[in-house]
Chains A and B, each alone.
Chain A
Amino acid sequence: MNGPTRRRDAGDRVFVVGVGMTPFAGFRDDATVRDMVVEAARSALIDAGAGAAAVDMGVAAYESDHFNRQMSLGHVLHEAVGLVGKPAVRVEGGGATGALAIRTAVMALGSGAARSVLVFGGEANGRSVDRSTASEILAMSADFEWETPVFGTFAAPYALMITEHMRRYGTTPEQFAAVAVKNRRMALDNPYAHKGMSITVDDVLASRPLSDPYRLLDASLLSDGAAAVLLATGDWAERHASTFGDRPPVAVLGTGSATDHPRLSDRPDDMFPHFAAKRRAAEQAYRSAGLDDPADEIDVAEVYDSFSGAELQAYEDLGLCPVGKGGPAAAEGRFDLGGQTPVNTSGGLLGRGSAVGATGIAQAVEIVAQLRGEAAGPRAVPDARIGITDTHAGVGALSVVNVFGRAA
């Protein structure tokens, strides 16, 4: 197994000194992607108490020129957020894009290439793109040579995975519908969420079928939105971020990334209903963070719930519950508020929504809010000290897990 194996020393810690995001929405009819990213980046800089002039580097996160209507959007955004002249890099990793951008910034800080990095991501996945155009673009996320001609909805490969999970472990549609209910309820308490809903398991089971056993309410939302975080070394933060001492500092404790065969049918039989890349990414992230018992040590998690069942598969592959037990654990409320590890207090992709380039960054925004004790209302997780974010591309082709911790 590759990857870092030591716990970070305090001296080379990476801190999250500022966070910001726009609300996620079905259609931001008053803001371009550029406008949304500027809005999120400004919020992150204000939160940090640092101007863009002091920042060393920018990392732009977005997935699709087709959705955003701009080639080379990275350096357009870089200029718009006030970083012209500074080094820039654009990161793309499908659904993991935002988290991969944070990981890239951590690597830049670890190498000494920068002492502060502004990470900003956004996407116009909402209804500015008409339905048939959006369907065509999304169909290209599958393998255009071998998959796109036979299925155009990602509900299909996710359905194949969960079908085998159901056969092998007895997982039921009621169990994954419970995830759809939980996350939409969480979103009701998040003012930045695309669409909170008060629904029941029966509502999910009665919604329109997409690809058996998945139905419309098992599927996540496509949103317009942006998010940003400012990462920095402790030395930089003390000199340039005026709010750094005002609240509990949050550090990036670890990061992990791994890959799997992008085409589901290429994967070995024993791992067919599992996210192998997620397991490897999590192991790597936990090792670099010095976590030995993730189910016990992680207080709050943002998990990639592109489909409701993918969340309960993720509980297992992230080591939050034993393999095959994700279904009963979801139904028992083990990952709800007050349970072992509250998951997707933001509402997740099912409730907060997904603007692809922003998604992994928005997850970090939620985790930082929880660790600082700033998450308001019923979704607050009391005294949370360690939180993780989990995202993947495709049906788990590329996974990124980032670990955050309250440093004081």
Chain B
Amino acid sequence: MRVHGVERGVSRAGRPTSLFHIEMSQRYRHTAGFADPFYRGIDQGVLRATRCDGCGAAWFPPRPFCPVDLAETAWYDLPGTGTVTAATRVHIPPPFGGVEAPYLLASIRLDGVEGGITHRVLGDRIPEKGTVVAVKFMEGVPAHPLLRAAFEIEGRAA
């Protein structure tokens, strides 16, 4: 922490006031935790989810255990396709950068699992509900590991 300076003046309400200009910074070693196989997966070109071998329920985002029978879940590969529920053009870049604004963002129901993901869609026309999309893995070092993946528009659902 550091105080860069002290500003003395009169407040908006007309009272004497002192402003301390303070700087703090935080750095973290943030683990992917249980989701580690997911992140290794997107580096290898596959989207992964988890399922319960007991009752067959499956989840994305992945869960470590089944809340019904308390069994540990197993990782499996998704086909990487899905359907848009709703989409928007976002005019503010995401917090870690790596994507130029404006960009497209969609809520996507993923095939092969009960669940969905809110993620980036490539292109510049906002896709309608029902648009079929497929994951595409980006080259280079992403600004955040999750941005290794994006979705491409395939067409309309049958």
Residues of A within 8 A of B (CB): 25, 27, 29-30, 69, 135-136, 139, 145-153, 155-157, 159-161, 163-164, 167, 208-213, 263-266, 269, 272
Contacts and interface: CB of A to CB of B under 8 A. Distances in A.
B92 A167 contact: no
Interface residues of B, number: 41
Contacts of A159: 88, 90
A390 to B, nearest CB: 23
A265 B108 contact: yes
A265 B102 CA distance: 21
Contact of B11 (A30, A145, A146, A213): A30
A162 to B, nearest CB: 9
Interface string B101-121: 010011111000001111110
Interface of B: 11-13, 15, 17, 19, 22, 33, 35, 61, 85-96, 102, 105-109, 115-120, 126, 128-129, 144-147
Contacts of A210: 90-92
B129 A156 contact: no
Given A29-B17, A161-B86, A163-B86, A149 B116 contact: no
A286 B37 CA distance: 46
Given A149-B147, A156-B88, 4 more contacts: A145-B35, A151-B105, A208-B91, A263-B118
Contact of B94 (A27, A152, A209): A152
Contacts of A139: 95
Contact of B92 (A153, A157, A213, A263): A153
Nearest to A138: B95
A264 B95 contact: no
A125 to B, nearest CB: 17
Contacts of B146: 146, 149-150
B12 A29 contact: yes
Contacts of A151: 90, 94, 105, 118
Given A265-B117, A265-B118, A149 B96 contact: yes
Contacts of B90: 151, 153, 155-156, 159, 210-211
Nearest to A135: B95
18 contacts: A30-B13, A148-B96, A149-B147, A150-B94, A150-B118, A151-B118, A155-B90, A156-B90, A156-B105, A159-B88, A160-B118, A163-B87, A167-B86, A211-B91, A211-B92, A212-B126, A264-B107, A272-B85
A212 B89 contact: yes
B60 to A, nearest CB: 9
B135 to A, nearest CB: 13
A2 B129 CA distance: 35
A161 B90 CA distance: 14
Nearest to B143: A149
Contacts of B118: 146-147, 150-151, 156-157, 160, 263-265
Contacts of B107: 160, 264-265, 272
B95 A269 contact: no
A208 B107 CA distance: 23
Given A145-B35, A151-B105, A263-B61, A160 B88 contact: yes
B12 A150 contact: no
A164 B83 CA distance: 14
Given A265-B108, A266-B115, A269-B109, A30 B12 contact: yes
A212 B119 CA distance: 15
B95 A149 contact: yes
A265 B116 contact: yes
Given A30-B11, A30-B13, A265-B117, A150 B105 contact: yes
B147 A29 contact: no
A215 to B, nearest CB: 9
A157 B117 CA distance: 12
B95 A146 contact: no
